Amino acid sequence: MREVENQVVSEDSIKKYLNDVLLCIKLSNYRIDNNNRQKNRAFQRTYSITNEDYIDLINMLSPTNFSTSTRNYKHGFQNEILYIFKLETQLFNSVTFEYDHVTLYIKTNLIEKPILFCIFISIHIADPQKEFN
């Protein structure tokens, strides 16, 4: 099992994790769960985000974007460790027709068995009221 929740994770471990995430994308072994949460839907609508845009954002991640790890608290999946990243970027706002400087919250779940598979659980604007490592 990967590192325990909120422990210090080495840069090499994060590099390997991101390499595995990118491999999942290359092999089409991934799912973007962008419709399950209000924040995800609002982000997608405001910035007219397509699946290709999500992949572009994920490709921008580096170990310096790592924020924390946490257990999956969903019933039946408590053995999984989720990795959370923050990404600062500029996106075109399809409502205001201007570019916004945004900080994104990206939560991933890399499943190693039976095959390497990645679920992008959340991709949305980070909540400014919540602390973000």
Q: Average pLDDT, stretch 103-111?
A: 95
pLDDT class of 77 with cuts at 50, 70, 90: confident
pTM of the model: 0.88
pLDDT at 3 over 50: no
pLDDT class of 6 with cuts at 50, 70, 90: low
* Enclosing H/E stretch for 25: helix 11-26
Mean pLDDT of all residues belonging to the chain: 89
pLDDT at 132 over 80: no
Beta carbons of 106 and 126 less than 8 angstroms apart: no
What per-residue confidence (pLDDT) applies to 4?
Answer: 46
CA atoms of 107 and 124, how far apart (whole Å): 9
- Quickly tell me which residue has 């490592």 as its tokens: 133
